């Protein structure tokens, strides 16, 4: 079962964000049962609240036998024409995510982008 859980974990994308715009994001720690975990970034413009992204992602992960906890949130400004992503702000419900972790994840996914972060802003 552990091997299957590990495989399920490895199939979870590190980053899933909208292709353009300014939107809320959450940083989640995804875990296989009693196993290792990894941090993932989810950001979507359809979400009115950070909790909306968390709830949908948790539901998707549960179907694969994985759990998750929210490490915090913020906002992303994604400008594909300029190849720039800026990470900032916080979630009222979940607190501020570690934007430096989010930035590293985004840099790995978008190696040709300039990815910046700041603790200012909402």
Residues 6+ apart with CB under 8 A from 102: 25, 27, 41, 74, 87, 117
Q: Is 38 annotated to bind ligand?
A: no
Active-site residue, from 50, 78, 86, 99: 50
Distance in angstroms (rounded) separating the CA atoms of residues 6 and 87: 29
What is the token pair recorded at 74? 């913020």
78 in active site: no
Residues 6+ apart with CB under 8 A from 73: 24, 25, 26, 27, 50, 53, 89, 90, 91, 93, 94, 95, 96, 97
Binding site feature residues: 24
Q: Which residues are catalytic?
A: 50
- Binding-site residues for substrate sit at 24
């Amino acid at each position: 079962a552990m091997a299957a859980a590990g495989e399920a974990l490895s199939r979870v994308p590190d980053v899933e964000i909208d292709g353009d715009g300014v939107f809320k994001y959450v940083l989640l720690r995804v875990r296989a049962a009693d196993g290792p975990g990894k941090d993932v970034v989810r950001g979507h413009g359809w979400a009115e609240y950070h909790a909306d992204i968390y709830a949908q992602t948790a539901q998707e992960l549960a179907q694969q036998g994985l759990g998750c906890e929210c490490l915090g949130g913020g906002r992303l400004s994604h400008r594909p024409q300029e190849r720039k992503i800026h990470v900032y702000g916080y979630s009222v419900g979940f607190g501020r995510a570690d934007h430096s972790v989010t930035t590293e994840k985004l840099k790995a996914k978008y190696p040709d982008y300039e990815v910046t972060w700041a603790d200012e802003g909402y």
